[in-house]
A and B are shown apart, each in its own frame.
Chain A
Amino acid sequence: MSSRLATGGRRIDRSKRLSFSFNGTKLTGFEGDTLASALLANGQDLVGRSFKYHRPRGIVAAGAEEPNALVALGQGDRMEPNQRATITELFDGLSARSQNHWPSLQFDIGAINARLSRFLPAGFYYKTFMQPRAAWKHLFEPVIRKSAGLGPAPTQGDPDRYEYFYAHTDVLVAGGGIAGLAAARAAAEAGARVLLVEQDSRFGGRSATDGVVIDGTDAEAWVAEQVAALSAMPNVDLRLRTMAAGVYDHGYVTLYERAGDRDPGAAPVRHRLWRVRAGRTVTATGAIERPISFAGNDRPGVMLASAVRDYIDLYAVSPGDRTVVVTATDDGYRTALAVRDAGLDVPAVLDTRPDPKGPLVDAVRARGIRVEAGRGIAKVRGTRRVTGVDICAQAGEGAVIEHVPCECVAMAGGWSPVVHLWSHCGGKLLWDETAHHFRPDPDRPPTGADGQGFAVTAGTASGPMDTGAALADAVEAGHRAAKALGHDKGAPRIPQADGTADGPPAAVWMMPHGAGPELRGKAFLDFQNDVKVSDVQLAAQEGYQSVEHTKRYTTLGMATDQGKLSNINGLAILSDSLGAPIPEVGTTTFRPPYTPISLGAVAGEARGSLFKPVRRTPIHDWHADAGAVWEPVGDWRRPYCYPKDEESHRDAVNREITATRSGVGLLDASTLGKIIVSGPDAAAFLDLTYTNMMSSLKVGRCRYGLMCTENGFLFDDGVVVRLSEDSFLCHTTSGGSDRVHAWMEEWLQTEWWDLKVWTSNVTEQFGQIAIVGPKARSVLERLGGMDLSAEALPFMAMAEGTLGGIGVRIFRISFSGELSYEIAVPAGRARALWDMLLAEGAADGITPYGTEALHVMRAEKGYIMIGDETDGTVIPQDLNLGWAVSKKKSDFIGKRAMERSALTDPDRKQLVGLETEDPALVLPDGAHAVSGQTNRFGQQETLGHVTSTYWSPTLNRSIAMALVSGGSRRMGETLDFSLEDGRIAKARVVDPVFLDKDGERQNV
Chain B
Amino acid sequence: MLILRCPYCGVDAEETDLAPGGEAHLTRHGPGSDDAEFRDYLFQRRNPRGVHFERWRHAFGCGKWFHAARCTQTLEVFGTYSAQCSEPPEEIMTAIRTRRPDWEMPA
Inter-chain contacts of B71 with A (CB < 8 A): 451
B64 touches A749 (CB 8 A): yes
Whether the pair B65, A895 counts as a contact (CB closer than 8 A) is no
Among A462-514, those with CB < 8 Å from B are: none
Q: Is B1's CB under 8 angstroms from A750's CB?
A: no
Interface of B is mostly: loop
Chain A's closest residue to B16 (CB) is: A275
* Interface segment out of the listed A29-37, A247-255, A383-391: A247-255
Contact assessment for B57 and A746 in the assembled complex, using a CB-CB cutoff below 8 Å: yes
A753 touching B75 by the CB < 8 A rule?
Answer: no
Decide: B31 and A895 in contact? CB cutoff 8 A: yes
A210 at interface by CB-CB < 8 Å: no
Q: Does A900 contact B (CB under 8 A)?
A: yes
A710 at the A/B interface (Cβ < 8 Å)? yes
Q: Are B83 and A448 in contact (CB under 8 A)?
A: no
Interchain CB contact (< 8 A) of B33 among A277, A448, A753, A896: A896
- The answer to whether B65 and A891 have CB atoms under 8 Å apart is no
Q: Select from chain B the residue with minimum beta-carbon distance to A890.
A: B31
Given contacts A447-B75, A711-B42, A900-B35, contact A749 B2 (CB under 8 A): no
Provide the bound-state CA to CA distance between A751 and B59, in Å. 18
Among A249, A449, A897, max chain B CB count under 10 A is at A449
Q: Are A250 and B38 in contact (CB under 8 A)?
A: no
Of the candidates B2, B3, B15, B99, which one forms a contact with A451 in the assembled complex, judged by CB atoms under 8 Å apart?
A: B99
Please tell me if B52 contacts chain A, counting CB pairs below 8 Å. no
Contact between B84 and A749, CB atoms less than 8 A apart: yes
Indicate with 1 or 0, residue by residue over B35-70, a CB within 8 angstroms of chain A CB atoms: 100100010000000000001010100011100000
Please, which residues of chain A bring their CB within 8 A of the CB of B83?
749-750, 753
Counting chain B CB atoms within 10 Å of each CB, the highest count among A250, A448, A751 belongs to A250
Query: Do residues A750 and B55 form an inter-chain contact, with CB atoms below 8 A?
Result: yes
Q: Does B21 count as interface, using CB distance less than 8 angstroms?
A: yes
Q: List residues of A (739-790) whose CB comes within 8 Å of B's CBs.
A: 742, 745-746, 749-751, 753
Task: Determine whether A450 belongs to the interface, using a CB cutoff of 8 Å to chain B.
Answer: yes
Interface membership of chain B positions 5-44, coded 1 if the CB is closer than 8 angstroms to chain A and 0 otherwise: 0000000000100000100000011111101001000100
| A899 within 8 A of partner (CB) | yes
A252 near B31: Cβ-Cβ < 8 Å: no
A249 and B75 CA atoms in complex are apart in Å by 7
Given A749-B65, A749-B83, A896-B30, does the pair A710, B75 have CB atoms closer than 8 Å? no
Q: How far is the CA of A448 from the CA of B3 in the complex (A)?
A: 9
For A248, the chain B residues whose CB sits under 8 A away are 1
Is there a chain A Cβ closer than 8 Å to B91's Cβ? no
What A residues does B15 contact at CB under 8 A? 249
Task: Please judge, given known A-B contacts A249-B2, A249-B75, whether A750 and B65 are in contact too, CB under 8 Å.
Answer: yes
Which residues does chain B contribute within 8 Å of A897, judged by CB atoms? 38, 42
A895 touches B21 (CB 8 A): no
For B24, the closest partner residue in chain A by CB is: A750
Given contacts A750-B65, A896-B33, contact A449 B99 (CB under 8 A): no
Interface residues of A in 213-264 (CB under 8 A from B): 248-250, 252
Do residues B38 and A449 form an inter-chain contact, with CB atoms below 8 A?
Answer: no
Q: How far is the CA of A250 from the CA of B14 in the complex (A)?
A: 10
Q: Is B87 an interface residue, CB under 8 A from the partner?
A: no
Interface residues of A in 885-914 (CB under 8 A from B): 890-891, 895-897, 899-900
Contacts of A895 in B (CB 8 A): 30-31
Q: Is the CB of A449 within 8 A of B2?
A: yes
Chain A CB within 8 A of B93 CB: no
Contact partners of B99 in chain A: CB under 8 A? 451
Chain A positions within 8 Å of B92 at CB level:
none
In the complex, the answer to whether A896 meets B84 with C-beta atoms within 8 Å is no
Nearest-Cβ distance from residue B59 to partner chain A, whole angstroms: 8
Taking the nearest CB of chain A, how far is it from the CB of B57, in angstroms? 7
User: Among A451, A745, A751, A890, which residue has its beta carbon within 8 angstroms of that of B63?
Assistant: A745
Q: How far is the CA of A250 from the CA of B59 in the complex (A)?
A: 20
Q: Which residues of B contact A896 (CB under 8 A)?
A: 29-33, 38
In whole angstroms, what is the CA distance A824 to B60 when docked? 28
* A519→B65 CA distance, assembly (Å): 64
Q: Are B84 and A753 in contact (CB under 8 A)?
A: yes
Cross-chain contact A250 with B75 (CB below 8 angstroms): yes
Return the 7 tightest CB-CB contacts between A and B, nearest first: A451-B76, A252-B1, A753-B84, A449-B77, A749-B65, A447-B74, A250-B3
Pairs A–B under 8 Å by Cβ, sample size 5: A250-B3, A447-B75, A449-B3, A449-B75, A746-B57
